[in-house]
Amino acid sequence: MRIFLALVFLAIFAFGDFKGLSPKMLQNKIDKNIILIDIRTPPEWEELGIVPASKKIMFFDEKGKYDVQSWLNQFSKYVKDKNQAFVLICRSGNRTSLVGEFLSKQMGYKNVFHLEHGIKSWIKENRKIEKN
């Protein structure tokens, strides 16, 4: 885990150019049918809901543990190639920053976006959410 996080932090500080979106910008992408990947935990999905049409694929569990290969296997069901655009969503934008940098810098994905300040920013603007 430490090696993964160290690589991600190095990528952030060395390159840091994957794209953040405001809720308004995200809505424009949604209107064009971009893939949304919500990487939060099940309790977070239940508590705050999700942006409609989001695919729920938890990256870090409640204890901060993760299984990159398992996550990539699920992710690849929705993002079919490294040029396909997609948006990552988490609670506040911290986890998507880590995962987004990893995907863009280490894995070679070209069109990686994330919702800046996470679903909290979406909710703050009174945008539609879905709850189970």
CATH number of the domain enclosing 49: 3.40.250.10
Q: Could you report the per-residue pLDDT of 4-21, keeping only the tens digit for each?
A: 554 444 444 444 458 999
Query: Is 73 inside a domain boundary?
Result: yes
User: Is residue 68 predicted with pLDDT exceeding 60?
Assistant: yes
Per-residue pLDDT, 47 = 96
Domain count, the chain: 1
Please provide the DSSP assignment of 47-91 as one string: HH-B-TT-EE--SS-TTS---HHHHHHHHTTT--STTS-EEEE-S
Range of the domain at 70: 2-124
pTM of the predicted structure, to 2 decimals? 0.86
Q: Is the pLDDT higher at 107 or at 132? A: 107
Per-residue pLDDT, 12 = 45
